[in-house]
Amino acid sequence: MSDFCLVSDVTAEISQANVDKYGIRVVPMTFFLGDKEYHQYPDNHELSMKEFYEGQVAGLETKSSQITPA
């Protein structure tokens, strides 16, 4: 058993292959683009990076919530 574990939030865009290979634990998060709430999980992204940045370019406000420690 390791004395440590690698942890990242979902915004790092780490490939599933690397998550599996290195045993990385990925923390999901919630964010807002405009007035809509999105949930990002390691295996399910409700909004692509392209759509996110297009929203920012269009002037939509972006906010995120604090990630809750487990």
CATH number for position 46: 3.40.50.10170
Q: Does residue 18 sit within a domain?
A: yes
Q: Does residue 70 sit within a domain?
A: no
> How many domains does one find in the chain?
1
- Residue 23: partners with Cβ closer than 8 Å, 6 or more residues away: 2, 5, 6
Residues in the chain: 70
Q: Does residue 69 sit within a domain?
A: no
- When the pLDDT of each residue in the chain is averaged and rounded to a whole number, the result is 88
Q: Which of 2, 50, 48 lies closest to 25, judged by CA?
A: 2
Which tokens hold the place of 31? 């964010």
Q: Does residue 29 sit within a domain?
A: yes
Indicate the DSSP class of residue 35. T
Q: Does residue 44 sit within a domain?
A: yes
Domain of residue 31: give its range.
Answer: 7-64
Judged against a pLDDT cut of 90, whether residue 36 lies above it is answered with yes
Q: Which of 19 and 43 is assigned the larger pLDDT?
A: 19
The share of the chain scoring above pLDDT 70, in percent, equals: 94
Distance of CA 3 to the CA centre of its chain: 25
Q: What is the arithmetic mean of pLDDT over 7-25?
A: 89
Q: What pLDDT, on a 0 to 100 scale, did the predictor assign at position 70? A: 58
Q: How confident is the model at residue 35 (pLDDT cuts 50, 70, 90)?
A: very high
